[in-house]
Structure 1
Amino acid sequence: MRFLHLGVGLLLLLSAQHAPAVVIPSPECQTQCGDVEIQYPFGIGDSCSLSAYYNISCEVQEDNVYKPILYGVEVLNISLIHSTIRVLNHISTYCYNSSSGAMETNPWTFNANGFPYRFSDVHNKFTVIGCNTLAYIMDSDGTGYQSGCVSTCNNKSDLVDGSCSGMGCCQTAIPKGMGYYDVSFDGGFNTSNIWRFSRCSYAVLMEAEAFNFSTTYINTTKFNDTNIGRAPVVMDWAIGNVTTSCEVAERNETGTYACLSRNSECLVSPNGPGYLCNCSKGYEGNPYVLGGCHDVDECKNNPCPSGGICHNTPGDYWCSCRAGRKFTSQNNTCSIDTGLVIVISALFGYMIIQKRKLNQVKQEYFREHGGMILFERMRSEKGLAFTVFSEAELTQATNNYDKSRIIGKGGHGTVYKGIVKGNTPVAIKRCALIDERQKKEFGQEMLILSQINHKNIVKLVGCCLEVEVPMLVKNQALEISFSTLLRIAHEAAEGLNFLHSYASPPIIHGDVKTANILLDENYMAKVSDFGASMLAPSDKEQYVTMVQGTCGYLDPEYMQACQLTEKSDVYSFGVILLEVLTGQEPLKLDGPETQRSLSSNFLIAMKENNLDPILPSHIKGQESNELIRGLAQLAKQCLDMSGINRPSMKEIADELGRLRKLSLHPWVQLDVEMETQNLLDGASTASFQIEGATTGYPTQDGENLPMNPRSSYYAR
Structure 2
Amino acid sequence: MMLFSSTHSAEAKISVLAFQLFILTPAVAAAVPVALPGCPETCGNITVPYPFGTRPGCFREGFNLTCEETPGRRPKLLVGDGVEVVGISLPEGTVRVHSKMLGVSLPLNTTSLPFNASWSAGLMATGRPLAVSSKHNRFVAMGCNLLASLVIDSDASDSVSRYVSVCAALCSGDSEVRDTSCSGVGCCQTPIALGLPSYMVQLSELAVESSGFGAFGVGLRALFIADQEWFSRKGALLQLDYFGDQQRTIDTEVIPTVLEWWLDSNRDRDVFGRGPDGNSSRCLSLNSNFIVYGDRWARCNCSNGFEGNPYIANGCQDIDECQHPDLYPCHGTCINLPGAYRCSSKKNISSLPGLITIIAVSAGFGLLFSVLGVAKLNNKFKQRRAKKLRQNFFKKNHGLLLQQLISSNKDIAERAKIFSLEELDQATNKFDQNRILGGGGHGTVYKGILSDQHVVAIKKSKIVVQSEINQFINEVVILSQTNHRNVVKLFGCCLETEVPLLVYEFISNGTLSYHLHGQNENSLSWKDRLRIALETARAIAYLHSAASISVFHRDIKSANILLTDTLTAKVSDFGASRSISIDETGVHTAIQGTHGYLDPEYYYTSRLTEKSDVYSFGVILAELLTRITPVFSSQSSESMSLASYFVSLIRDNRLSDILDSQIVEEGGTADAEVVAKLAEACLSLKGVDRPTMRQVEATLEDVQNSNVHHNSHITRVTQNVTKDQSYNGSKGSEGTRLYSLEKEFIQSSEIPR
TMscore range, shorter length: 0.3 to 0.5
Bigger proportion of residues as helix: 2
Q: How high is the TM-score relative to the length of structure 1?
A: 0.40
Q: How high is the TM-score relative to the length of structure 2?
A: 0.38
